[in-house]
Amino acid sequence: MIGRMVAIMRVSVLLHIIGAVALVALAGCGKRPVIQPEVMLAPECEILSGPAKFADSVRVALLDKVRPEHAPWARSASEQLLFRHLYETLITIDCLGEVQTGLAGSWNSGEGGRRWTFELREGAEFWDGTPVTARDVARSWQHTVSEPMTQGAGIDSVTVVGDRILHVYLTRPHRRIPRALSAPAFAVAKSSEHSHWPLGTGPYRVVPWGRWSVGMSRRTITAHPAFGMDGPVIKFVEATTYDERDLLEGVIDVMVTADPAVIEYAASRPQLSTIALPWDRTYVLLSISRIEKLRWGSTLGTFSSDLSDRLARDAVRGAARGYRPPSWWDDLSRCGDLFAAVPLFPPIPRYVYSSSGLHRILYDVNDPIARDLAERIVALAATDPFVSPEAAAIASAVPGLISDTAGIAAEGVTRSERDLSLRHGDDFAYVIPIPRRPPDPCHEAHKLVIRAQWLSTFKVDLSKALIPLVDTRLHVIVNRSKVGLIVDWYGNILIANEMLLGR
Amino acid sequence: MTFRTRLLIIFLLAVLVPMIVLALFIRDEMTERLAAQYERRVESLVAVIEEDLAQEGDAIATALGVLRKAVVNDNRFRRAAVDRVLEERRYLLDYAGNAMQLTGLSMLQIQDEAGRIISSGHFRNEYDRLEPELPKLLSSTPEGIAIVQARAPDAPFLALARADSFQMGNRTFTIVAGVKVERRFLTRLAREAELQVALIYPGGMLAPGTDRSKSGVDGTRSGIVESRDRDTVRAVDVPPSGTDVTHKTVPTHDIDVPQSETEVQRDRAPARAIVRELRVPFIDSERGELAYAKFRVTHQLTELQSLRSSIDRWFLVAVAAAGILAVMLVGWLASRISRPLETGRRDEIGALSRLLGAMTERLRASAVRIKDAERRATIGELARQVNHDIKNGLTPIRNVFRHLVQLAQNNPNQLPDVFQEREGTLDSSISYLEDLASNYARLYPRTERRPIDVNEIARQLVMDLQGSGHVDLRMNLGDGIVVLGDPVALRRILENLVSNAIDSLGSRPGRVTISTALVSGEGDRSRVRITVSDTGIGMSEEQRAKVFDDFYTTKDGGTGLGLSIVRRLVMDLDGSINVESVEGKGSRFIIDLPGSGAARPDSGG
């Protein structure tokens, strides 16, 4: 009896061993022998745990038009959402601000922190299977490094020293790894003659390359998990002409929005979850007259937090809160001379010597929050400051806002028009969003100075020049039965797959 | 003036004058009637605009009524506005915007009893702004309606607005609602392309096709192109008590019209538009006071102008055509009247015309032949006589020379004796020929001379010639005009000259004057000057040079001997004759004869 039992056990064990070997063999078939990046995902960054098994496909709404020729440098929120899935930077910063590996597997510094050496992760390859080389990284950054806007990142030059090793030389020493390299501007991509889309190394890849599929009157970009990883197929659906609420009726599974009406509607749908993303933007008022006065030593007021809260509560029809200090522009002393990168003779803002009788407050016409804030400021300009604390505060903060001779108007213009006006200082004031949590405040401050070069004329501390108004954030509406979500430092969401979850 | 010219003038006057009068009458009548029609249209449009405004006001009032009812029943609004629940504040702030869109209004704001804006549809973020005077002023207007300047984030706009109020809890709220007054609104009021409606308000003007001025800053651009008078504009005033329409003339400088536009208007006449105005209350929010704006209705007269120009053009064409036709017709008619009778006709008239024509031809030919024959006969007879007389005188001379030649050949020694014998024959033949020549020099035999009363001969001649029809025979006779000579010859002289003078007049009326006078002559003797002048066709220089030549004539069928005979007769009387003439004006023959100084001259019987 025992002998029979032993024999049965032996056969059972043997069968299990055979089965395990068979399973291992089968598991090895069809998978590419890719070395996965080491991803250490903080639990806090997984804002939504997905189902145990990845869904076959997930539909993500793109509420703006996306253009392959912009890749990998996003120009809209939808492009940012898409490109984040497709392209990688050398390093990433998680939602807690911790630096994580990206395309680079390791790094070290030298020359007192002026040189940083990156070694690309082993087995890193583009979607077409070609390995990513240091030269690819350097070529990819060629445009970025030469841009004045990115020169504040402190990158002086890049040297390729091997197939997978490159030196990054900085304009000033960094004790820690330059976090600016995690910015989307430093994403790595390679152009392909077979595809509209540059080849990337991100957790997802566009398949088939370069083609839009058109179905059901909506353009769709299909992205598969890269490197044979397990995960859902993402269908990015361009839905610019649809009412967002209609999309929530089973058409899409993930939508990022700031529209309070849509958020409110989603709350009524049981299958949907609405998750607030981090406060990622602060809207500020940039007034030439204020900066001019500050230059001459005037003391001007600003918005108190109470007033700022009222602004967020009443004026802004979106997810907003009153501005919460501190902010990264409060102390930029370690950034050196921010105005050094500006031409020798910075321009005088044209508004100073223009004779137009109308004061314009410009905003991006596609930015409803900026519009609400600009209109509120115009309304406050016509409100008696003796009866309205808000009016009194804004009048104190912005010289010339209340004028007997000049009218004031809020005007929405395209982003490029606004930026052009901002560059030359053509108008009275601007309502612009700036990142609330930039990876590198000095770089961000530098970018702002480049955008408004006349700031260098007055050389006023940004902490005084800017009038912070409100903080805003986005919300993601998601079908929680299908999707797991990860968020990064920039507030970008990522559809979880095996690679991202580090499984 | 020829017959044709007279005919042409009469025809033109008969046709053109009535045509011109008719055209002018039509033009003026048409202008007046059309202008009157346009005025009526403008008047009726003003009335329609009043009605439209009233209807718009009623529509706004209806929307306000609906809103009032809805808001009073809105619990969330109550919680926000009355209970001041903070969670509902956003609902309150958005309320007016949603309500405005639903009701189709362009302006909507809700204010509390202090005049604070608690919700604004057209300017969402102007909450908490105080504007207490707006609803008060609106309520003070006659119909409760006015044009207001509403604030907006980008620029203020005009709206036709009214106010209403409601109670909620223990609070009173006011709703101000309105529709935008913009170019489309004005175009809709105008209804027709020829009519234009503009809105003139303090600090600006709004008209289709013009830019609205920023209030009080940029001035205005006029869309007006009128006036009826050059320097004034008809304006319509609305008495405060109602909307009756009256006329009032105001100078153009009271209306915001740029100088250049006014100057252009002043340079153009007649009027180019008809204008009427309708006054409406206007709330000047800058100053917080009630003023007035005007709806100005303008009817362009360009159509009338072009119609008038077209009539003028066609009128000129008609006049030119009538003139050309008249000329052609008259020319044809005149030529037809003076044309010979048609000989191609087969009736009695044709036969008669042919017969008359043939007779005329024969007579004409006969006269020519007779005159020619007479001329030839006269000349032939004279020539024969001269030939005969000369031969008679030459024959003895020839015989003597033949005898002498023969002797010279045969008996030259007898020549002197024979010549002496025949010398007498030669002398007598030569004397015969001399006498003959002297006789032929005077065609008449010499007559006796006696004193002649020249005036009496002239009077008799004139008396004989009286009744010559178109010829005015006059005499201008001096005293003591007596000459020595043959009265017959003198009468013949005067007859010839007067006859020639009458002939020179042709068929035209004219004057022939016989003048006599004593003029001073050589020594003590006076001379008698006889002048025969006429207002005939005159003579050219060439004709004057040959006028006394034998056989020279300018008349058809004339012998050409009249004036040559006259000259001989004058010379026979020891006188002289000269002629002065201006071609086309007339001629004057001047005869100077020696005066007689004798008693009782002969009158020539």
Q: pLDDT value at position A6?
A: 60
Model ipTM value = 0.76
Q: Of A424-428, B2-6, B46-50, give the range with the top mean pLDDT.
A: A424-428
Mean pLDDT of B70-89: 92
Q: Do B129 and A390 count as a contact with CB atoms less than 8 A apart?
A: no
pLDDT above 50 (res A457): yes
Alpha-carbon distance of B430 to B176, in angstroms, equals 151
A403 touches chain B (CB under 8 A): no
Residue bearing tokens 């109470």:
A306
**Which residue on chain A is closest to B120 by alpha carbon?**
A379
Per-residue model confidence as pLDDT tens digits over B185-232:
888 887 777 788 889 998 888 887 654 443 332 233 232 222 333 233
- With beta carbons less than 8 A apart as the criterion, state whether B138 and B115 touch: no
Q: pLDDT value at position A148?
A: 62
Helix (H) or strand (E) holding B539: none
Q: Do B125 and A407 count as a contact with CB atoms less than 8 A apart?
A: no
The conformational region for residue A202 under phi > 0 = left, psi -120 to 50 = alpha, else beta, is beta
Under the banding of pLDDT at 50, 70 and 90, the label for residue A1 is low
3-state secondary structure B143-158: CCEEEEEECCCCCCEE
CA distance, residue B126 to nearest chain A CA (Å): 5
Question: Which pair of structure tokens corresponds to residue B139?
Answer: 């309520």
3 state DSSP class of A309: helix
> Is the peptide bond between A232 and the residue preceding it cis, with omega within 30 degrees of 0?
no
pLDDT above 50 (res B262): no
Under the banding of pLDDT at 50, 70 and 90, the label for residue B329 is confident
Q: pLDDT value at position B323?
A: 79
Question: Which pair of structure tokens corresponds to residue B138?
Answer: 């609106």
Alpha-carbon distance of A488 to A85, in angstroms, equals 12
Under the banding of pLDDT at 50, 70 and 90, the label for residue B320 is confident
Q: pLDDT value at position B123?
A: 95
Alpha-carbon distance of A408 to A398, in angstroms, equals 12
Alpha-carbon distance of B577 to B396, in angstroms, equals 41
Q: pLDDT value at position A405?
A: 64
- Measuring CA to CA, which residue among B156, B145, B77 is closest to residue B110? B77
3 state DSSP class of B115: coil
pLDDT above 60 (res B602): no
Q: pLDDT value at position B10?
A: 85
DSSP percent split of chain A into helix, strand, coil, nearest 5: 35, 25, 40
Per-residue model confidence as pLDDT tens digits over A172-204:
788 888 888 898 888 999 988 877 788 999 889
Q: Which of A375, A382, A409 sits opposite B124 (nearest CB)?
A: A375
- Measuring CA to CA, which residue among A146, A126, A127, A147 is closest to residue A136? A126
How many other C-beta atoms are found inside a 10 Å radius of the C-beta of residue A479?
A: 19
A358 touches chain B (CB under 8 A): yes
**Which residue on chain B is closest to A369 by alpha carbon?**
B125
* Phi, then psi, of B205 in degrees rounded to 5: -150, 145
How many other C-beta atoms are found inside a 10 Å radius of the C-beta of residue B554?
A: 15
CA distance, residue A272 to nearest chain B CA (Å): 24
Strand partners, B109: B120, B176
Alpha-carbon distance of A260 to A266, in angstroms, equals 10
Among B79-83, B553-557, B587-591, the minimum mean pLDDT is found in B553-557
pLDDT above 70 (res A118): yes
Residue bearing tokens 């600009």:
A374
Q: pLDDT value at position B241?
A: 34
Mean pLDDT of A72-100: 90
pLDDT above 50 (res B258): no
Among A107-111, B152-156, B357-361, the minimum mean pLDDT is found in B357-361
Q: pLDDT value at position B444?
A: 53
pLDDT above 80 (res B339): no
How many other C-beta atoms are found inside a 10 Å radius of the C-beta of residue A150?
A: 21
- Measuring CA to CA, which residue among A27, A181, A29, A15 is closest to residue A92? A181
Residues from chain A that touch B125, judged by Cβ atoms under 8 A, are: 314-315, 372, 375-376, 378-379
> E-strand spans in A216-271?
218-225, 233-238, 254-257
Under the banding of pLDDT at 50, 70 and 90, the label for residue B380 is low
pLDDT above 70 (res B517): yes
Strand partners, A468: A284
Under the banding of pLDDT at 50, 70 and 90, the label for residue B487 is confident
Q: What is the largest CA-CA distance in chain B?
A: 192
Count of positions (residues) in chain B? 605
> Is the peptide bond between B258 and the residue preceding it cis, with omega within 30 degrees of 0?
no
- Window A:297-326, CB contacts with B under 8 Å: 313-315, 317
Q: In one letter, which amino acid is B211?
A: D
DSSP symbols for A152-169: GGTEEEEEE-SSSEEEEE
Q: Which of B89, B130, B214 sits opposite A384 (nearest CB)?
A: B130
Residues from chain A that touch B153, judged by Cβ atoms under 8 A, are: 371, 374-375, 378-379, 409-410
Helices (H) and strands (E) in chain B, counts: 13, 18
- Measuring CA to CA, which residue among B459, B462, B455, B457 is closest to residue B481? B455
Sequence-ordered list of residues with C-beta below 8 angstroms from that of B436, at least 6 positions apart, any chain = B389, B390, B393
* Phi, then psi, of A199 in degrees rounded to 5: -75, 135
Residues from chain B that touch A384, judged by Cβ atoms under 8 A, are: 129-130
- Measuring CA to CA, which residue among B157, B204, B211 is closest to residue B179? B157
Alpha-carbon distance of B22 to B6, in angstroms, equals 24
Q: pLDDT value at position B239?
A: 31
- Measuring CA to CA, which residue among A267, A364, A363, A360 is closest to residue A319? A267
For an interface test with B, the pick among A264, A383, A428 (most B C-beta atoms closer than 10 Å) comes out as A383
- Measuring CA to CA, which residue among B78, B70, B138 is closest to residue B107? B138
Q: pLDDT value at position B511?
A: 93
Q: Which of A313, A383, A407 sits opposite B129 (nearest CB)?
A: A383
CA distance, residue B89 to nearest chain A CA (Å): 7
Mean pLDDT of B43-53: 85
Among B82-86, B215-219, B481-485, the minimum mean pLDDT is found in B215-219
Per-residue model confidence as pLDDT tens digits over B166-191:
999 889 999 999 999 988 888 888 77
- Measuring CA to CA, which residue among B122, B119, B121 is closest to residue B80? B119
Sequence-ordered list of residues with C-beta below 8 angstroms from that of B421, at least 6 positions apart, any chain = none
How many other C-beta atoms are found inside a 10 Å radius of the C-beta of residue B492?
A: 16
Under the banding of pLDDT at 50, 70 and 90, the label for residue B145 is very high
Q: Do B89 and A317 count as a contact with CB atoms less than 8 A apart?
A: no
**Which residue on chain B is closest to A374 by alpha carbon?**
B153
pLDDT above 70 (res A294): yes
CA distance, residue B125 to nearest chain A CA (Å): 5
Q: pLDDT value at position B599?
A: 46
- Measuring CA to CA, which residue among B55, B34, B36 is closest to residue B189? B55
- Measuring CA to CA, which residue among B289, B393, B300, B316 is closest to residue B24? B316
- With beta carbons less than 8 A apart as the criterion, state whether A381 and A400 touch: no
Q: pLDDT value at position A34?
A: 40
> Is the peptide bond between A208 and the residue preceding it cis, with omega within 30 degrees of 0?
yes
Q: Do B94 and A317 count as a contact with CB atoms less than 8 A apart?
A: yes
Residues from chain B that touch A261, judged by Cβ atoms under 8 A, are: none
* Phi, then psi, of A159 in degrees rounded to 5: -125, 130
For an interface test with B, the pick among A363, A375, A394 (most B C-beta atoms closer than 10 Å) comes out as A375
- What is the Cα gyration radius of chain B? 58
Alpha-carbon distance of B371 to B358, in angstroms, equals 20
Per-residue model confidence as pLDDT tens digits over B440-465:
666 655 556 789 899 999 998 888 88
Per-residue model confidence as pLDDT tens digits over A40-59:
677 888 888 888 788 888 99
CA distance, residue A466 to nearest chain B CA (Å): 22
Alpha-carbon distance of B295 to B277, in angstroms, equals 6
Q: Do A388 and B151 count as a contact with CB atoms less than 8 A apart?
A: no
The secondary structure of residue A488, as a DSSP letter, is B
Mean pLDDT of B80-88: 91
Buried b / exposed e over B253-264, threshold 16 CB at 10 Å, is eebbbeeebbee
CA distance, residue A408 to nearest chain B CA (Å): 8
- With beta carbons less than 8 A apart as the criterion, state whether A236 and A444 touch: no
Angle separating helix axes A368-381 and A389-397, nearest 10 degrees: 100
Buried b / exposed e over B123-141, threshold 16 CB at 10 Å, is bbbbbbbbbebbbebbeeb
The conformational region for residue A30 under phi > 0 = left, psi -120 to 50 = alpha, else beta, is left
Percent share of chain B, pLDDT over 70: 81
**Which residue on chain B is closest to A407 by alpha carbon?**
B155
The secondary structure of residue A313, as a DSSP letter, is I
Listing from the earlier edge strand, what are the strands of the sheet with B157-168?
Answer: B117-120, B107-111, B171-180, B157-168, B145-150, B273-284, B289-300, B195-201, B204-206
Q: pLDDT value at position A152?
A: 55
